[in-house]
Chain A
C-alpha cells in the first residue's frame, strides 16, 4: 500500500500539461484586445526522471541528458517543455484606431514532453 501511494504521488510530479487560463483583463489588455477575452494557454511542469524518459514523450536528447545526470549529478535533469503548440487569432485595436486581426503561432500548449 505504501509503495502504491508513493507511486501515485510521484506520478503527479511527473512532467505533464497543467491548465493555465490567460485572462486579458488580469493583464489590463482587455482595453485593446477585442477578442478573445482570454485563452487556455496551459503550461508544462514536472520531473523528467531517467527511468521514465522513454514513456514521457521524450526526445532522444532528453534521454541522453537524463542518462548523463544519473552518471554526473552536475548535469541538470532533463526539463519538461511543450512539444506541441497551437496558434490563436487575436482581434485588437492599435493606437491609430486600426482594427487588426492577426494570427499567432505557438500560443497554446497542447502536449508536453521531456
Chain B
C-alpha cells in the first residue's frame, strides 16, 4: 500500500513536471551547448542569490520557461529518380506532440549543422533550400517520393557551417493531427550541373550527408507557471 501511495504521489509530481510517466530514455542524448549554457547561467544566478526572471530566456531573447531540443526523426531520400544535380535530399521530421496544448510557442529554431566548412575550395556552387511538407512523413514512398504540397521557405546560396532558420510561424500554423512538423531539405548543385561531372563535388556531398546534424530548438511559455508577480500566490 505504501509503494502504491508513493507511486501515486510520484505520478502527481511528474504531471507537474509536464511528464505523463517516468521517462526511460534508451540512451542519453548529447546536451546541446545552448541548453548547457543557459542551465549553467541559471545555476550561477541561484548560487549568488540573484533573482532572475525564469520566464525570459536572456540567451535567446525570448519569453519562455520550457526549452526543448527535438531530434530529427526523418531520413535521407535516395532514389534513381532524384535530380542528378541533387547533392543531398533529406526529409526532416519533428515530433511536436510533447508540447502541451496550454503552452505558448515563442521560438522554433531549426539548426542545421553541415559539419566543418568544406566548401571554401568549391566556390559558390551549392544552394540549400528548405521547404515545408504538408503530409505525414511516414506516407512517403522512398522509391518514388510523393510529398504532397511543398512550400519553399528559404533558399541559401553557398551553405556552410551551422545554419539557423526561424520556423516559429510555420510551427504555429502546423495543423498536422499527429503534431508532426515535416520539412524537405535539399542541397543542389547550382546551374544544374550533374554530380558525376565533378568528382570533388561528389565527395563533398557524400561528406555532407555523413556530417549533417539537424535539430529543432523549441521554446514555450507555460502561462500558469509564468504568471505576473502580482498574481502569484
User: Does B42 sit within 8 A of A, measured CB to CB?
Assistant: yes
How far is the CB of B93 from the nearest CB of chain A, in Å? Answer: 12
Given A93-B23, A93-B28, A101-B39 contact (CB < 8 Å): yes
Residue in A closest to B32 when the chains form the complex, CB atoms: A99
Show the binding face of A for B, using Cβ within 8 Å. 27-29, 31-32, 34-36, 86-105, 108
Residue in A closest to B99 when the chains form the complex, CB atoms: A98
For chain A, what secondary structure do more than half of its interface residues adopt (helix, strand, loop), or is it mixed? Answer: strand
Show the binding face of B for A, using Cβ within 8 Å. 10, 17-19, 21-26, 28-29, 31-32, 35-36, 38-39, 42-43, 46, 51, 54-55, 65-71, 95, 97-98, 225
Partner of A34, one of B10, B17, B31, B42: B31
**B35 engages A98 (CB within 8 Å):** no
**A94 engages B65 (CB within 8 Å):** no
**B70 engages A35 (CB within 8 Å):** no
**A86 engages B46 (CB within 8 Å):** yes
Partner of B17, one of A96, A99, A102, A105: A102
How far is the CB of B33 from the nearest CB of chain A, in Å? Answer: 11
**A98 engages B71 (CB within 8 Å):** yes
For this complex, 17 residue pairs linking A to B, each with C-beta atoms less than 8 Å apart, are A27-B10, A31-B24, A32-B23, A87-B46, A93-B28, A94-B98, A95-B23, A96-B95, A96-B97, A97-B29, A98-B71, A100-B67, A100-B69, A101-B67, A102-B65, A103-B66, A104-B17
**A36 engages B65 (CB within 8 Å):** no
Given A32-B22, A34-B31, A96-B97, A103-B71 contact (CB < 8 Å): no
Instruction: Please name all residues of chain B whose beta carbon is closer than 8 Å to the beta carbon of A29 when the two chains form the complex.
Output: 22
Residue in A closest to B26 when the chains form the complex, CB atoms: A97
**A99 engages B42 (CB within 8 Å):** no
Instruction: Please name all residues of chain A whose beta carbon is closer than 8 Å to the beta carbon of B10 when the two chains form the complex.
Output: 27
Partner of B39, one of A91, A104, A105: A91
Residue in A closest to B20 when the chains form the complex, CB atoms: A95
A88-B225 Cα distance, complex, nearest whole Å = 13
Partner of B23, one of A91, A92, A103, A108: A92
Instruction: Please name all residues of chain B whose beta carbon is closer than 8 Å to the beta carbon of A28 when the two chains form the complex.
Output: 22
